[in-house]
Amino acid sequence: MEQDQVLILDFGSQYTQLIARRVRELNIYCEIHPYNHPPKELENFKAVILSGSPNSVRGENVLHPELSEIRGKKPLLAVCYGAQYLAHFSGGKVAPSSTREYGRANLSFVKNDEIFFQNISVGSQVWMSHSDTIKELPTNGLLLASTKDVENAAYKIEGEDTFAIQFHPEVYHTKDGKQLLANFLVDIAKVGQTWTPDSFVESTVAAIKEKVGNDKVVLGLSGGVDSTVAAVLLHKAIGKNLYCIFVNNGLLRKNEFESVLKQYEGMGLNVKGVDASKRFLDKLAGISDPEGKRKAIGVTFIDVFDDEAHHIQDVKWLAQGTIYPDVIESVSVNGGPSATIKSHHNVGGLPDYMKLKIVEPLRMIFKDEVRRVGASMGIDPELLGRHPFPGPGLGIRILGDITAEKVRILQEVDAIFINGLKEDGLYDKVWQAGAMLLPVNSVGVMGDERTYEKVVALRAVESTDGMTADWVDLPYEFLQKTSNKIINQVKGVNRVVYDISSKPPATIEWE
Ligand code: XMP
């Protein structure tokens, strides 16, 4: 790739991915690599950032990066652990903090005549999260900023383009964090801001053409954002050689198979819709255990996909919508002195005998960037704004065993809820919403009759990545209207409840 790049060396901080996202927001391309597995070729990287870490530079679990080709040779920004590391091993001193240093703090001193702190003033809020503190700066250290409790909050090494900060510029609570990163990357390191959705599309299409040539590629579409954007990118690159398969597992939302298929065809994609509902429901019969259901759905998907892929002659490649968070190798915090590397590669579960090579055009970009790339290629905003929907679909929202009748009931309930959110302008304010069919019946009265029917739970959450989530305070009026509609219109349901649990400790799905 012929554009400026930034290298982020990861020491296992929970915030490392956030550093990458902030850098990308500056339209600068960056990559995260484990501190002990840096890329072999450093030439392309115009600047380096060291992340934070749960480890301490004191004691046994010190993580030692190899910086001989970096320090003094390339602009270097060390954050939190990185800042402590540079201090501790270069003539300074790090000791346990005597006061709590978590959360908000404000800069009480700033050396504004340094480019690093231009446009950032005393009083600016920063976010601290550390239990060690830098007591003495390293050799040639020059103090750049302090807070009330942390004197050495930022420093530089004179004679080098090396900067260090104790606080976290990558979190939103550090108000001028992005400015600080821009000061370092753009003004000091002179990294070009050339990473845009359009440039990504252009370079990725060229790379796919080169990699795949005239080979045929098969891709499983799910109706979700990632697989759709991946398909459109591939289609731009190889046109009719892309064969898409969209499987109806019988656990999709109401009418989703037909409507999404139509939408794909309207986009010019070569898509085969395969209605395998019966095959999935047969396989699921009598299974109540959530992991058992996931497994049955996964295995059946592979069987169906495999059957279909065999109909495409000479297919050589399998394309997937894997995105960067699935790919990043993070440094394990439990790894002890020689931290082990945990891999999250999501290379799918296709049987080996298919022997397909893998192409993953989105493997270096984050979810929000996938949406921006999709928008730049003219994909319908409604499709790009769809809530996440789990692979096993309604299968993990029907608690207990799955039957065609239960799927029908839940599809009706879900459609009323989701359409209601759209009609009332609430859909885009919610990160994910859906309905759960509970494995209990409750007593009710309808007319003069006593009923004994199903209970459904509605769930709507706000989140950024699904890792943590909170329930959404939907208007009472909306809940009342939706509950009435469901009970009046969906045969088999006589009670609606709303889930007001956060994650953690609850999860988003009920299974
Ligand atoms: P939980 O329930 O773990 O869900 O809080 C977090 C996010 O992951 C989705 N999810 C799944 N997605 N296969 C998927 O593809 C699954 O088995 C699965 N389980 C949960 C969930 O919808 C939410 O967005």
How many residues comprise the chain? 511
pLDDT value for 335: 42
Asked if residue 488 has pLDDT above 60, the reply is yes
Q: Which helix (H) or strand (E) holds 281?
A: helix 277-284
Ligand 1 centroid to residue 346 C-alpha, Å: 15
pLDDT of residue 340: 39
**The dihedral sign for the CA sequence 52, 58, 63, 65:** positive
pLDDT over threshold 70, residue 346: no
**Dist. CA 287 → ligand 1 center (Å):** 19
d(CA 87, CA 164): 9
Say whether pLDDT at 66 is over 50.
yes
Kindly state if the Cβ of 17 falls inside 6 Å of ligand 1.
Answer: no
Mean pLDDT value across residues 171-199: 96
Looking at per-residue confidence, does 170 or 335 come out higher?
170
Average pLDDT over residues 469-477: 97
- CA distance linking residue 299 with residue 292, whole number of Å: 11
Burial class (CB in 10 A: 0-12, 13-18, 19+), 189: buried
Q: For ligand 1, say whether the CB of 464 is within 6 Å of any of its atoms.
A: no
| Helix, strand or coil, per DSSP, at residue 468 | coil
Out of 291, 508, 510, 511, mutate this one to test ligand 1's pocket (max ligand atoms within 8 Å of CB): namely 508
Residue pLDDT, tens place only, 28-58:
999 999 999 999 999 989 999 999 999 999 9
- What confidence tens digit (pLDDT) does each residue in 92-150 have? 999 998 876 788 999 999 999 999 999 999 999 999 988 899 999 999 999 999 999 99
pTM of the predicted model, to two decimals? Answer: 0.84
Q: What is the average pLDDT across 397-425?
A: 98
Domains of the chain are 5-188 (3.40.50.880), 197-382 (3.40.50.620), 404-498 (3.30.300.10)
Residues with a known catalytic role: 80, 168, 170
What is the gyration radius of the CA atoms in the chain, in angstroms? 26
Whether 390 is in the pocket of ligand 1, judged by its Cβ within 6 Å, is yes
| Number of helices (H), then strands (E), in the chain | 13, 22
Summarised one tens digit per residue, pLDDT across range 272-326 is 999 999 999 999 999 999 999 999 999 999 999 999 999 999 999 999 999 988 8
